Structure 1
């Protein structure tokens, strides 16, 4: 290899390394995971609470003192028990 070819190859390698933020720990991107469950249904939209909110045991029409409905969910929904077609409760 001649001197010019080595310089050109080195410059290309440096360019590629500079374009890769992960190698320098500069990646500020965040992973967002979404789990869409279209079979949930809520009374305001569907006229009844779907099985996934009640599990034949809970009653979403019962509202606790903190304003949360009694739903079959380990983690209460951040917005409210909803139907996937809803944009706000």
Structure 2
């Protein structure tokens, strides 16, 4: 899944030159990696030795693992919120 447009990518593997088919954003980037963490040293939870300046651009990091996003179905989310409201206040 692309970190920028949140669309599913078709490819099964992400390579250094992989781009999102929808918005052409680099997929092998820090912002699309599960180890990206703003609060960690070099903003990465892995022991990288070189700082990656541009987190949006492709890089040569060997630790890269695609980040998995939780996809929320907005129709189900709306229905469950409505059901929770109705259980508290009844059908008004």
Scaled by the length of structure 1, the TM-score of the pair is 0.21
Greater relative CO (CA pairs within 8 A, separation 6+): 2
**Larger radius of gyration between Structure 1 and Structure 2:** 1
Identify, as 1 or 2, the structure richer in helix: 1
